[in-house]
Amino acid sequence: MSKQYRKTGMLEYVHSIPMAILLVTTLTLIVFFMAPDSVQAKETVNILFVSSQNTSPYLRFVEEAELELRKGDSLSVNTTTLSANQLGNDKFTNTALTYDLIVSLGKKAAEAVLKLKPETPVLYTLIPEVTYNSLKQSGNLACPDRQCSAVYIDQPLNRLLHIVAVAFDGQRELGVLLGPLSVKQSDMLDQLAKKTRFTLHTELARNQQEILPALNSILKQSGLLLSIPDPVVYNRKTAKSILLTTYRHRVPVIAYSRAYAEAGATLSVFSTPKQIAVQTVSVIQDFFDSDTNALQPPQHPKRYSIKVNRHVAESLGLDFDANPTFQSLLKEADDEES
């Protein structure tokens, strides 16, 4: 080739190089020199996840969130996950100082983050709306320079009542057992009940001893029981007795978690850890990408699932398959088992 080069000159030598290689090389140089800085070097941010417990829902959330964060084009993300108990150890006292954002999972994590007294913005998730608002109003929520927000775990009330109205078409007597936190939603419940043509029956249980008397009072007037999150009313100690009592009265329960449907609620409307993780990552990406450096306002889940306990439904004489409008709602909801 060197002899050919001396005889024919540079032009014929260049023409002997395959055209495809020349094109690829030229395009690569153009892209490199014209590409914006954001393509050549991603911004690196550090995120701390604080989990209330090392159990499946929290672990699944973190796993899905990290997967979503790696899909992003604009950010290079370093993540660290600590439990609420770990965060309470002395060796992690200054942990928050090295992170650009803290993501708190659940109420116990929120309490641990408060003790940390961070100067870093905090995004709360896997927490009910009433719990978040109660902690914030009482000053028991870390919100440095008002830089905090939430992706709630519970559904918006208007979505719940719409699904209930469609699923139980013809039933107009709706009962709701309220607790010290959820009672703050009573006015909104009343407004939405009127819009969906329900007659609303509510009772307040201020402590565990008042739950069954209040529940029996509701069930005498109601054909349905809608459960909304309240730590006093609905917890591991009370769930079984509430479900058994409603079943004896042959009143369907509409609950807010997959576990309740599996335990005996007629149906549940809920968002999975994966669904909430994807939405949370969207809020995180917007926070770092926006010029305002502000978190989006608190928000309910956008995606949700509906689970029907068919055994309980059949024993109560309910045939959801004969309800085409409800079947359409089931198809609209995300069908995932996570």
CATH assignment of 157-270+304-332, among 3.40.50.12500, 3.30.428.10, 3.20.20.100, 3.40.50.2300? 3.40.50.2300
Q: Are 169 and 132 in contact (CB under 8 A)?
A: no
Q: Do domains 39-152 and 157-270+304-332 have the same CATH topology?
A: yes
Going by pLDDT thresholds of 50, 70 and 90, the confidence category of residue 22 is very low
- In terms of CATH, what superfamily is 39-152? Glycoside hydrolase family 3 C-terminal domain (3.40.50.1700)
3-state secondary structure of 175: strand
Q: Of the ranges 12-21, 267-276, 320-329, which one carries the lowest mean pLDDT score?
A: 12-21
Strand partners, 254: 226, 267
Tell me the percentage of the chain whose pLDDT exceeds 90: 75
Stretch 166-182: mean pLDDT: 96
Flag whether pLDDT at 232 surpasses 70.
yes
**Which residue is associated with the tokens 């002395």?**
90
Greatest mean pLDDT among 20-29, 97-106, 237-246 lies in: 237-246
Report the amino acid identity of residue 252. Answer: P
pLDDT (0 to 100) of residue 293:
82
Tell me the percentage of the chain whose pLDDT exceeds 70: 83
Report the amino acid identity of residue 122. Answer: V
pLDDT (0 to 100) of residue 87:
85
Average pLDDT, the chain: 87
Helices marked H in the chain — which ranges? 2-8, 10-15, 19-34, 37-40, 56-71, 84-87, 107-116, 129-137, 157-167, 186-195, 211-219, 239-248, 258-263, 273-289, 310-315, 324-332
Which residues lie below 8 Å from residue 148, measured CB to CB, with a gap of 6+?
Answer: 121, 122, 123, 124, 136, 141, 142, 295
- Residue pLDDT, tens place only, 28-68: 434 434 444 444 456 789 999 999 999 999 999 999 999 99
Stretch 3-25: mean pLDDT: 41
Flag whether pLDDT at 114 surpasses 80.
yes
Report the amino acid identity of residue 259. Answer: A
The residues spanned by each domain of the chain are 2-34, 39-152, 157-270+304-332
**Structure tokens given for 261:** 């449907």
